[in-house]
Amino acid sequence: MKVCIAEKPSVARDIATVIGATQRKDGYYEGNGFQVTWTFGHFCTLKEPHDYYEQWKYWRLEDLPMIPPSFGIKLTENSGVEKQFKVIEQLVQQCEEVINCGDAGQEGELIQRWVLLKAKCTAPVKRLWISSLTEEAIRNGFQQLKDSEQYNNLYAAGSARAIGDWLLGMNATRLFTKKFAVGKVVLSIGRVQTPTLAMIVARQKEINAFVSEEYWELKTIYRETEFTATIERLKNIEKANKGLAYLKEHPFEITSFERKEGKEGNPRLYDLTALQVDANKKFAFSADDTLKYIQSLYEKKLVTYPRVDTTYLSEDLHPKIPGILQDMTPYAALTAPLLAKPIPKLKTVFDDKKVTDHHAIIPTGVYPQGLPLEEKRIYDLVARRFIAAFYPECKISNTTVLGVVGQVEFKATGKQILEPGWKEVYANDQKDEEEEEGEKIIPEFTVGESGPHEPRIHKGKTTPPKAFTEATLLRAMETAGKQVENEEMREMLKDNGIGRPSTRANIIETLFKRKYIDKKKKNIYATQTGIDLIDTIETEILKSPELTGQWELKLRQIEKGEYAMETFKQELIQMVIDLTKEVKTGSYKVITIAHEPPPAAEEKPKKPRAPKKPAPEIQELQCPKCKSHPLKKGNTAYGCSNFQVCGFKVPFEAFGKKLSDKQINDLLTKSKTGKIKGLKMPDGSEKEGKILLSKAYTLEVE
């Protein structure tokens, strides 16, 4: 029997229907040689501090930094999770093969791998990797199952991300809370959360410090076209009035007329961030809501996998495009011109080098019906963007006219659409866009022509920097804080943006939940608590988007097999050690603003208890000799699960002493135990010392 594990019951049902597992059982489907079961979100999580040591249950500076000897996982405490996990555990222990049908991304890989690890799965594992949930995609996916090992780097990157977030989040939050907070204030620090907050606070400070100033500009109307003086803005009305009087004494003369034809390139296909940006601009949807809507559309088989960061399609999809367009019947009026001729294989759309595990978000061609309004709007964005990608470019005419009144130079610019091209797909939005951008049609002028004009003074005020909206904040996270408008440049910066497309919405929601930021209409601003927190953190590495972007780059390199997970982990451990030392000896501003109280378990006990020995799961450790197989518990020793080839083992008893799990764990992770009394030596004598794991992987006494 082959066991398929999906990430949601609804997906399991779709898979079961396609592969013929039609008998409903308690917690799974069965039939045609398959059993199809499911998880629902994160069944397993990294162990909490108190799972390693009793004393780590309490928030105390003297216990920091907390560096577990090895990271273990545990089942999420939830009765529904526990019941379904037992079903999974029983099925995988009795099957001939497991097929991982989890969400085809880093988070989905991590969720499923942890479940299989916790269930002690020993059966061979295959991977279903698909970009949509249509029947055709599922059927094709089962015909091309991958070896699970192909995704080991993806799993390593997910594990490194989780461990990195644990190390920094757990330690830095306790460190800053116990060092600087007063009362029951919790100062939450996160690897992505804190630099995101720092960007918002920096912008907030610019806005708060901004002092608006009045200015005056000279303008004039000549032949129903408004021109603006190119001189610097005037700082007082007296100079403006003098300028106006001067202009009235002279005619307007055209000195230059230039009209250039150009093109406006088609908009790129959507990645998740671009979709969230547009949905926020057009409908004021939060990033989190947009993610929920597009995920729902994916599960309804209407769009492809949404948690992506590429705007390209793989080249092998080109022959399938006409079929998808043909099936998009609600958009028949827009697709008809495209289907009348071959679909071009555009380099801005198809590029295998720009596609990794998944391609850009596009419709599947399945007919959308009965959708809630919000999902309908998101689907419409995706559908129109897909259609627009294959339309001709928009041809425009840019006009620049220069003139002079006496010695004062004037300028007017305008834009005219000659052939709308892809903009026809957005015909209803076009008028609004033109008004918003101040586009205008400039009539023909002849150099040297001259005549009367209508000068005037325009009074204005300087405006502060714009507050972040979710749209602009998502873009800032994508580019690690760099202001980038060019789409090609943004594409290049994605590898070291902060956070992942699938997690950025959650980061923003967390900042709202913590009350570090708030919203007025679309604008996001930092609360005083958020500002105080960032002011307290003097360690630049915690709040620099650029440095955090470098960590993200390393995580992507781990995913590609170009960087070692263990190296990344050790770098973070060292950073946490250095940070703890720096903060413990430093003195910064103290936060006194009331905030959410810590859980009762975080309060310092009246009588500090002696630390208990940790109980790590040794079997979750890798063999230190071959470094490629987990350890296994035998009758007299822990040994490599590939013992016949590797030969490594650590006995339960050595030098006359029964070793505790803590001592064995220390041997495996640190290569030595603490001091032990009464060790029996080969000559019959007794000695106090440490047991060492030598380079030859034998036990010795120091």
Least confident residue range of 55-59, 382-386, 455-459, 599-603: 599-603
Could you tell me the pTM of the whole model?
0.76
| pLDDT for res 631 | 80
| pLDDT for res 600 | 35
| pLDDT for res 219 | 97
User: For the purposes of burial, counting CB atoms within 10 Å of the CB of 505, is it exposed (0-12), middle (13-18) or buried (19 or more)?
Assistant: buried
What whole-number distance in Å separates Cα of residue 304 and Cα of residue 365? 10
| pLDDT tens track for 293-332 | 999 999 999 999 999 989 999 998 999 999 999 999 999 9
672 within 8 A of 692, measured Cβ to Cβ:
yes
The fold of the 159-208+467-535+543-584 domain, in CATH, is: Topoisomerase I; domain 2 (1.10.460)
Tokens of 117: 């690890």
Task: Reply yes or no on whether the pLDDT at 632 is more than 60.
Answer: yes
159 within 8 A of 110, measured Cβ to Cβ:
yes
Listing from the earlier edge strand, what are the strands of the sheet with 225-229? 450-451, 252-264, 394-405, 408-419, 225-229, 214-222, 454-461
Question: Which positions are catalytic?
Answer: 305
Residue whose token pair is 């709040």: 543
Task: Reply yes or no on whether the pLDDT at 243 is more than 80.
Answer: yes
Confidence class of residue 657 from pLDDT cuts 50, 70 and 90?
Answer: confident
Task: Reply yes or no on whether the pLDDT at 42 is more than 80.
Answer: yes
Tokens of 276: 């969230």
| pLDDT for res 358 | 87
| pLDDT for res 244 | 97
Does the domain formed by 214-265+405-461 have CATH 2.30.110.10? no
Q: Quick one: DSSP state of residue 618?
A: G
| pLDDT for res 605 | 38
The fold of the 2-144 domain, in CATH, is: Rossmann fold (3.40.50)
Whole-number Cα distances in Å, 599 to 102, 158, 159, 312, 596: 33, 28, 27, 46, 9
Q: Rg of the chain over CA atoms, in angstroms?
A: 32
User: What's the average model confidence in pLDDT over 621-625?
Assistant: 80
Residue whose token pair is 């996982």: 73
What are the sequence ranges of the domains in the chain? 2-144, 159-208+467-535+543-584, 214-265+405-461, 272-388, 618-701
Q: Quick one: DSSP state of residue 495?
A: G
Confidence class of residue 679 from pLDDT cuts 50, 70 and 90?
Answer: confident
Q: Which residues pair with 649 in a beta bridge?
A: 639
Average pLDDT, the chain: 88
Task: Reply yes or no on whether the pLDDT at 167 is more than 90.
Answer: yes
| pLDDT for res 589 | 53
| pLDDT tens track for 330-350 | 999 999 999 999 999 999 999
The fold of the 272-388 domain, in CATH, is: Topoisomerase I; domain 4 (1.10.290)
Tokens of 628: 């490629």
What whole-number distance in Å separates Cα of residue 389 and Cα of residue 313? 11
| pLDDT for res 434 | 46
DSSP string, 163-212: HHHHHHHHHHHHHHHHHHB-TT------TTHHHHHHHHHHHHHHHHH---
| pLDDT for res 407 | 94
| pLDDT for res 493 | 62
What whole-number distance in Å separates Cα of residue 104 and Cα of residue 128? 8
What whole-number distance in Å separates Cα of residue 508 and Cα of residue 397? 41
Task: Reply yes or no on whether the pLDDT at 442 is more than 70.
Answer: yes
Sign (positive or negative) of CA dihedral 340, 346, 352, 357: negative
Tokens of 385: 């963007």
| pLDDT tens track for 683-701 | 677 888 898 888 777 888 8
236 within 8 A of 272, measured Cβ to Cβ:
no
What percent of the chain has pLDDT above 90? 67
654 within 8 A of 642, measured Cβ to Cβ:
no
| pLDDT for res 483 | 61
Residues 303-330 as b/e (b if ≥16 CB within 10 A, e otherwise) read: bbbbbbbbbbbbeebeeebeebbeebee
Strand, helix or coil for residue 627: coil
Task: Reply yes or no on whether the pLDDT at 613 is more than 90.
Answer: no
What whole-number distance in Å separates Cα of residue 395 and Cα of residue 264? 6
Cis preceding linkage at 65, omega within 30: yes
What percent of the chain has pLDDT above 70? 91
301 within 8 A of 133, measured Cβ to Cβ:
yes
Q: Which residues pair with 261 in a beta bridge?
A: 397
Least confident residue range of 45-54, 205-214, 635-644, 646-655: 635-644
User: What's the average model confidence in pLDDT over 678-684?
Assistant: 77
Task: Reply yes or no on whether the pLDDT at 584 is more than 90.
Answer: no
| pLDDT tens track for 89-117 | 999 999 999 999 998 888 899 999 999 99
527 within 8 A of 332, measured Cβ to Cβ:
no
Strand, helix or coil for residue 277: helix
Q: Quick one: DSSP state of residue 482?
A: -
Confidence class of residue 84 from pLDDT cuts 50, 70 and 90?
Answer: very high
Which residue would you say has higher pLDDT here, 359 or 661?
A: 359
Which residue would you say has higher pLDDT here, 502 or 130?
A: 130
Confidence class of residue 663 from pLDDT cuts 50, 70 and 90?
Answer: confident
Residue in 159, 156, 99, 155 with CA at minimum distance from that of residue 130 = 99
| pLDDT for res 614 | 44
Least confident residue range of 9-13, 354-358, 484-488: 484-488
Tokens of 372: 């809630």
Task: Reply yes or no on whether the pLDDT at 220 is more than 90.
Answer: yes
Strand, helix or coil for residue 248: coil
Residue whose token pair is 């949807």: 285
Cα 212–217–222 angle (5° rounding)?
150
Least confident residue range of 142-146, 256-260, 507-511, 580-584: 580-584
| pLDDT tens track for 373-432 | 999 999 999 999 999 999 999 999 999 999 999 999 999 999 888 999 999 999 866 544
Q: Are strands 225-229 and 408-419 parallel, antiparallel or unpaired?
A: antiparallel
